[in-house]
Amino acid sequence: MSARTVRRFGLEAYSAIPRRRRLPELAVQSCPCRLFANSLPTRSGHNKWSTIKHTKFANDAVKNMTAMKHSRAIIAAAKIGGPDPASNARLYSAIEAAKKASVTKKTIESALRRAAGIGGNDGKALENVTYEAIGPGGSAIVIEALTDNKARTVTSVRTCLTKQACQLGPALFFFDRKGVIRIAKRTIPDATEATPAVIEFDVIFEHAIEAGAEDIEPLGPDEEAEGPEAELPVYEILVDPVDTAKVAQEMKDSYGYDIKEMGIEYVPKKDSLVELSDPQGETMRKVVELLNEIDDVQDVYTNAS
């Protein structure tokens, strides 16, 4: 018996129909139209929490990967040069980098304890490994990694290079190993009319040389600064690797400069710089991006300009 028949003859006639052939009474009373189903519609499940949940999980995964990467760098630096950041430039740089990446104090302290062999050690020894590669346009690439499984890491590195038509090959002779300190020019706190508010490059250069620097050059503007200082450049100081911590401390304590970054890096020789075309530059960007996605990779250097 259809709903149309029920509406035509009324509920009394409907009641006379055997129960097994009746339509649901609720549907008859509430639906004036032809019935196809009497179940409530279901929703797709795309609610606010679903969006928040997936976004949160993705953000947590990125944070965990970042924390793990910085922890491994701190552990390696402490094991190589000792647990004191004042005398270990690499450790100082690793801790500062972790802080700027918003790694928690608890995570940093845990990494230092692991380096000292105090709890939480998984028993796997971490090794520093360096890979050399030939990139687009004959450019050179140096990859520094920290790993407990060299076979796994070299496979990951080779896969990233192969995807962009690059390959492992000799490249270190295009670079010098240098201590690198990046400082931001700052205003003089007690400036007067007789004292310029902004320190000139010649003054910065003189301070760096007196502190023990080998060379200094301006980079781009300070992206973290605010107000007028946002237009002032960051300066890169090159020093002998063993003097990195000493020079950085001198520039900070004696002259009041803000230490942005500090570490020991592979710096391309000026006569080895390779200028890439736009397509080659895009390939290089993709290579560096893929390499940095590998958990074990700590730093990537190139002589491409």
Question: Rounded to an integer, what is the distance from CA 168 to the centroid of its chain?
Answer: 24
24: pLDDT confidence band, cut at 50, 70 and 90? low
For tokens 């346009």, name the residue: 137
pTM for the full predicted model: 0.66
pLDDT digits (tens, 9 = 90+) for 46-102: 554 445 444 554 555 566 777 777 887 888 778 767 778 777 777 887 888 888 888
More confident residue, 251 or 43: 251
pLDDT digits (tens, 9 = 90+) for 146-187: 888 899 999 999 999 999 999 999 999 999 999 999 887 665
104: pLDDT confidence band, cut at 50, 70 and 90? confident
pLDDT score at 139: 95
Q: Is the pLDDT reported for residue 105 higher than 90?
A: no
Tell me phi and psi for residue 2, to 5 degrees: -90, 165
Find the helix or strand (DSSP H, E) in which 92 lies: helix 89-100
Question: Rounded to an integer, what is the distance from CA 291 to the centroid of its chain?
Answer: 12
Q: Which two tokens stand for residue 73?
A: 């760098």
